Amino acid sequence: MKYYNFDIVFQEIPDEVTLAVNITNCPNGCKGCHSPHLHHDIGMNLDENEIDQLLTKYGRQITCFCFMGGDATPKEVARLAGYVRRKSALKVAWYSGKKQFPETFPSFDYVKTGPYQPEYGGLKCRNTNQRLYRNLDGKPVDITSRFWKSV
Ligand code: SF4
C-alpha cells in the first residue's frame, strides 16, 4: 500500500486536527473524482517505518491520523490503524470510498463511507450519499450532520 502525500487538515474529521494521508491505487473510479492521480499505484510505501516517521514529525501537532483511501487493501489499512493506535494516543480514521459499511470498523475511531457522486455532493451537502461514523464504545454513530451546521 502506497501514499502520494499528506496534509494537516481541520475539516475532514469534526473536532480533530488530522494528518490526512492520501493512499493511491484507488479502485473506486468515482465519476467526477477530485483526485484522479490517486487511481494509479504510485507513491511511497506506507508501512510501520513510514508511520513512525510521520508520527515523530507531526504527532504532537495532530489529534487524529486518517487513512484517505486504501479500498484496494482494506485489511492492510486496518492493520496499520492498529499500529498507529499502539504507537500513539491519536484517534484513527478511515475515509473509504465504498458504499458498504466495513467489517474492520472496530479498528477505527471514525469511518467515512460512500463514493463521491457529484449529483449528491460531498459530506458538506445535506443530501450527500456519504456518511461519517464515530465509533462510540464499539457502536457506529452517524455524525454526518456535523458537517451541515454552518451551511
Ligand atoms: S474514492 Fe476518492 S480517489 Fe477514489 S475514485 Fe472516488 S473520489 Fe476518486
DSSP string for residues in 106-127: GG-SEEEE----TTT-STTSTT
State whether the beta carbon of 33 lies less than 6 angstroms from ligand 1.
yes
Expressed in angstroms and rounded, the spacing between residue 35 Cα and the centre of ligand 1 is 7
Distant-in-sequence, close-in-space partners of 53: CB < 8 Å, separation ≥ 6: none
Q: What mean pLDDT is predicted for residues 27-35? A: 93
In tens, the pLDDT along 65-110 reads: 999 999 999 999 999 999 999 999 999 999 999 999 999 999 999 9
Expressed in angstroms and rounded, the spacing between residue 115 Cα and the centre of ligand 1 is 7
pTM (2 d.p.)? 0.96
State whether the beta carbon of 30 lies less than 6 angstroms from ligand 1.
yes
State whether the beta carbon of 26 lies less than 6 angstroms from ligand 1.
yes
Q: What mean pLDDT is predicted for residues 116-134? A: 96
What is the percent of the chain where pLDDT is above 70? Answer: 99
Say how far residue 24 (Cα) sits from the centre of its chain: 12
Give residue 150's pLDDT band: very low, low, confident or very high (50, 70, 90).
low
Three cell numbers written together for 52:
513512525
Distant-in-sequence, close-in-space partners of 77: CB < 8 Å, separation ≥ 6: 1, 23, 67, 70, 94, 104
Q: What mean pLDDT is predicted for residues 109-137? A: 97
